[in-house]
Chains A and B, each alone.
Chain A
Amino acid sequence: MARPISWIGQALLYGLFALIIGYFSNSPPYRHLPADQALIKLSFSHEGKLVSPCRQRTAEELEKLAPNMRAPMDCPRERSPVTVEIDLDGTPAYRHVAMPSGLSKDGASTVYHRIPVNSGEHRLAIRLNDDARAMGFNYRREETVALKPGKVLVIDFKQEAGGITLQ
Chain B
Amino acid sequence: MTMNLFDSTRSSALIAYQRVERGFDRVFGTALNPWRHLGALGFLFFWIIAVTGLYLYAALDTSVDGVYRSIGRLSREQWYAGGVLRSLHRYAADAFVLVTLLHLLREFLLGRYTGFRYFSWFTGVPLLWFIYIAGVVGIWLRWDQLAQFSAAATAEWLDALPVFATPLIRNYLSTDAVSDRLFSLFVFVHIGVPLLLIFGLWFHIQRISRAEVFPPFALAVGSLLAILALSLARPVASQAAADLSMVPGPLALDWFYLFWQPLMYGTSAAAVWAFVTGATLLLFLMPALPHAAASPIAEVHPDNCNGCRRCFEDCPYAAIVMTPHPGGFPGRQLARVIPDLCASCGICAGSCPSSTPFRSAAELVTGIDMPQMPIDGLRRALERGMAQFQGGNGIVVFGCDQGANVASLAGKDVASFSLTCIGMLPPSFVEYALRGGAKGVLVTGCRAGGCAFRLGNRWTEERFAGMREPHLRGSLPGKALRVAWASLGEEAELSAVLDDLRQTLAAERLHNAVPISVPIADQIADPIVPSTGMTVHG
B253 contacts A30, C-beta separation under 8 Å? yes
B156: A residues at CB distance < 8 A: 112
A37 to B248, CA, bound (A): 12
Select from chain B the residue with minimum beta-carbon distance to A12.
Answer: B27
* Distance between Cα atoms of A112 and B159 in the complex (Å): 9
CB-CB under 8 A for A25 and B246, given A6-B27, A108-B165: no
Q: How large is the interface on B (under 10, 10 to 19, 20 to 34, 35 or more residues)?
A: 35 or more
Q: Which of A24, A32, A45 touches B94 (beta carbons < 8 Å)?
A: A24
A1 in contact (CB, < 8 A): yes
Binding site secondary structure of chain A = mixed
Residue numbers in A under 8 Å from B226 (CB-CB): 14-15, 17-18
Q: Number of contacts between A and B (CB, 8 Å)?
A: 118
- As a 0/1 sequence over residues 1 to 37 of chain B, the CB contacts with chain A under 8 angstroms (1 = contact) are 0000000000000000000000010111100001000
Mark out the residues of chain B between 401 and 422 whose CB falls within 8 Å of any chain A CB in the assembled complex: none
- Cβ of B361 under 8 Å from chain A: no
Q: Is the CB of B262 within 8 A of A30?
A: yes
Q: Which of B166-174, B184-192, B383-391 forms part of the interface with chain A?
A: B166-174
Q: Is the CB–CB distance between A14 and B225 below 8 Å?
A: yes
B149 within 8 A of A: yes
Residue B328 interfacial (CB < 8 Å): no
Let me know if A43 and B244 touch, CB within 8 A. Answer: no
Q: Report chain B residues within 8 Å CB of A28.
A: 253
A-chain residues with CB within 8 Å of residue B169 when the two chains form the complex: 43, 112
- Check A152 against B251 for contact (C-beta < 8 Å): no
Chain B residue with the shortest CB-CB distance to A45: B166
How distant is the Cα of A43 from the Cα of B225 in the complex, in angstroms?
48
B222 proximal to A (CB < 8 A): yes
Interface assignment of B90: CB less than 8 Å from any CB of chain A: yes
* Interface flag for B247 (CB, 8 Å): yes
B94 engages A25 (CB within 8 Å): yes
Please give the distance in Å from B403's CB to the nearest CB on chain A: 21
Decide yes or no whether B326 CB sits under 8 A from chain A.
no
Q: Are A151 and B246 in contact (CB under 8 A)?
A: yes
Contact A18 B230 (CB under 8 A): yes
Q: For the side of the interface on A, what is the size category?
A: 35 or more
**Distance, CA A29 to CA B225, complexed state (A):** 27
Q: Is B98 an interface residue (CB 8 A)?
A: yes
In this assembly, does A26 line the interface, its C-beta being within 8 Å of a C-beta of chain B? yes
- In the bound complex, CA of A128 to CA of B341 (Å): 64
Instruction: Name A5's closest neighbour in chain B (CB-CB).
Output: B27
Nearest A-chain residue to B159, judged by Cβ: A112
Q: Is the CB of A151 within 8 A of B28?
A: no
A20, chain B: closest CB distance, angstroms? 7
Chain A residues within 8 Å of B256, by CB: 24-25
- In chain A, residues 6-36, which have Cβ atoms closer than 8 Å to a Cβ of chain B? 6, 9-10, 13-15, 17-18, 20-22, 24-33, 35
CB interface residues, A 38-88, toward B, < 8 Å: 38-39, 41, 43, 45
Closest 3 CB pairs of A and B: A9-B27, A26-B252, A18-B230
- Show the binding face of B for A, using Cβ within 8 Å: 24, 26-29, 34, 90-91, 94-95, 98, 149, 156, 159, 165-167, 169-170, 173-174, 222-223, 225-227, 229-230, 233-234, 236, 244-256, 262, 265
Residue pairs across A and B with Cβ atoms less than 8 A apart, 29 shown, are A1-B27, A6-B26, A6-B28, A9-B27, A13-B24, A20-B98, A21-B91, A22-B233, A26-B252, A26-B254, A27-B253, A28-B253, A29-B251, A30-B250, A30-B251, A30-B253, A31-B250, A32-B248, A33-B247, A35-B249, A37-B247, A41-B173, A101-B165, A112-B170, A150-B246, A150-B249, A152-B246, A154-B174, A167-B173
